[in-house]
């Protein structure tokens, strides 16, 4: 028996999504090494785990069916084996809800950890932390709806007698999820807006960065479509399952686009350096942390050139530099003496450090 169109689409999207995740792992390994991974990288590993479990559950649901629409007059005609199959499929549906929600919130964690890094030392970081707390509370609320909308819990997979549409269709799950999911997505979406507003970049590059950082709008659209279409076909399972795959696929692509961009561009977004210190971002708008995403910016005037070459280290054992300047045009020599500038070493005088720097502007672009 050949694969159904649903199976073909689901596993194709799974393969593409998994490839994107592995590209992300490779890009981050290339940038900072495995020892330099941050919170968003570990959330990305959880995304792969929940992505796989979600697909497996939906595959089993398609093979075994569920108790949706198995009213008493229908269940009276079922054999014990058929009832057992529907019970098992309904259990897979319940677990599928949990894996699906966990995957969505792992993607949120991925984005929030990334924003926490690029807002280090900025006022927006406090909003990132509050949004993270809201997401944790929202996650608990959605799981509470999944497990609490039908009690006792075993009625979620009960076939005989029919437990009722409220238990089988999961109407409360859709409403709770779409409200909390969209609200938290909007909160995450507005985090980079002030950064993009202040950054000094050509409008084209600013728009390109905005699309990458604000790609959550596509997730919100997919979430709303999934909820609306699933509620329209709530007595069936095919529409909701395929749209669950589509929504999470869009989420994986949108969330990891920024992380894999360096693999497909000549200039890297985030260059890496090894070190043990962390320096917060400068709060001066001329050295804004987004100013050099996608390449160095030339919009800063010459009097501020020295300031615009500063860069920020993020992390402890491994840092990500938003911009590491090319200092090949600067040659310097440092001399250390223990006396005054007479060339003699005189006891009791402090150590004098003299640095001579020559700048060759002909090598600047």
Name the CA dihedral angle for 175, 176, 179, 182, rounded to a multiple of 10 degrees: -110
CB atoms inside a 10 Å sphere around CB 151? 10
pLDDT tens, position by position, 43-56: 999 999 999 999 99
Confidence of residue 199 (pLDDT cuts 50, 70, 90): confident
Beta strands in 12-143 (DSSP E): none
Name the CA dihedral angle for 188, 190, 196, 198, rounded to a multiple of 10 degrees: -120
pLDDT at residue number 266:
53
> What would the two tokens of residue 346 be?
């005189």
φ, ψ (nearest 5 deg) of residue 199: -65, 140
Tell me what the pLDDT averaged over the chain comes to.
78
pLDDT at residue number 323:
34
Confidence of residue 215 (pLDDT cuts 50, 70, 90): confident
> What would the two tokens of residue 269 be?
């977004």
* 3-class SS of residue 151: coil
With a cut of 60, say whether residue 269 has pLDDT above it. no
What's the mean pLDDT in 187-216?
Answer: 78
Name the CA dihedral angle for 273, 277, 280, 284, rounded to a multiple of 10 degrees: -70
CB atoms inside a 10 Å sphere around CB 304? 14
* Overall size of the chain counted in residues: 365
More confident residue, 212 or 267: 212
**Which one of 139-143, 190-194, 204-208, 316-320 scores highest in mean pLDDT?**
139-143
- Determine contact, residues 307/287, Cβ cutoff 8 Å: yes
Could you give the angle at the alpha carbon of 67 between the alpha carbons of 61 and 69, nearest 5°?
A: 120
106 burial (CB, 10 Å; 0-12 / 13-18 / 19+) is: buried
Question: How do beta strands 271-274 and 352-359 pair?
Answer: unpaired
* H, E, C per residue of 15-50: HHHHHHHHHHHHHHHHHHCHHHCCHHHHHHHHHHHH
Question: How do beta strands 271-274 and 318-321 pair?
Answer: antiparallel
With a cut of 80, say whether residue 351 has pLDDT above it. no
pLDDT tens, position by position, 217-249: 888 999 999 999 999 988 888 888 899 999 999
What's the mean pLDDT in 337-358?
Answer: 50
The Cα–Cα gap between 237 and 169 comes to 9
- Determine contact, residues 41/28, Cβ cutoff 8 Å: yes
With a cut of 50, say whether residue 285 has pLDDT above it. no
Confidence of residue 103 (pLDDT cuts 50, 70, 90): very high
Question: Which residues are bridge partners to 355 per DSSP?
Answer: 334
């Amino acid at each position: 028996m050949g694969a159904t169109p649903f199976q073909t689409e689901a596993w194709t999207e799974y393969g593409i999504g998994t490839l994107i995740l592995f590209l992300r792992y490779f890009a981050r390994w290339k940038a900072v090494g495995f020892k330099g991974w941050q919170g968003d990288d570990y959330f990305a590993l959880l995304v792969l785990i929940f992505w796989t479990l979600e697909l497996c559950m939906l595959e089993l649901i398609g093979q075994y069916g569920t108790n949706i629409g198995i009213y008493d007059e229908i269940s009276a005609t079922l054999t014990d084996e058929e009832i057992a199959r529907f019970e098992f499929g309904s259990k897979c549906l319940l677990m599928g809800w949990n894996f699906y929600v966990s995957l969505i919130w792992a993607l949120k964690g991925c984005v929030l950890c990334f924003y926490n890094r690029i807002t280090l030392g900025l006022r927006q970081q406090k909003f990132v932390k509050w949004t993270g707390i809201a997401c944790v509370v929202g996650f608990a609320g959605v799981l509470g709806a999944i497990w609490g909308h039908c009690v006792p819990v075993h009625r979620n997979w009960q076939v005989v007698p029919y437990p009722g549409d409220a238990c089988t269709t999961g109407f409360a799950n859709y409403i709770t999820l779409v409200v909390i999911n969209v609200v938290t997505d909007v909160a995450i979406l507005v985090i980079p807006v002030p950064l993009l507003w202040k950054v000094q970049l050509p409008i084209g590059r600013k728009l390109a960065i905005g699309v990458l950082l604000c790609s959550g709008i596509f997730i919100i659209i997919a979430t709303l479509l999934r909820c609306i279409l699933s509620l329209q076909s709530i007595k069936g399972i095919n529409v909701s399952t395929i749209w669950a795959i589509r929504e999470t696929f869009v989420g994986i692509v949108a969330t990891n686009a920024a992380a894999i961009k360096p693999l497909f561009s000549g200039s890297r977004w985030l260059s890496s350096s090894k070190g043990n210190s962390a320096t917060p971002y400068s709060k001066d708008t001329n050295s804004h942390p987004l100013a050099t995403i996608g390449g160095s910016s030339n919009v800063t005037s010459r009097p501020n050139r020295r300031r615009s070459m500063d860069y920020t280290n993020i992390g402890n054992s491994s840092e990500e530099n938003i911009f590491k300047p090319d200092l090949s045009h600067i040659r310097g020599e440092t001399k250390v003496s223990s006396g005054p500038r007479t060339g003699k070493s005189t006891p009791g005088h402090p150590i004098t450090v003299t640095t001579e720097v020559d700048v060759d502007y002909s090598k600047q672009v």
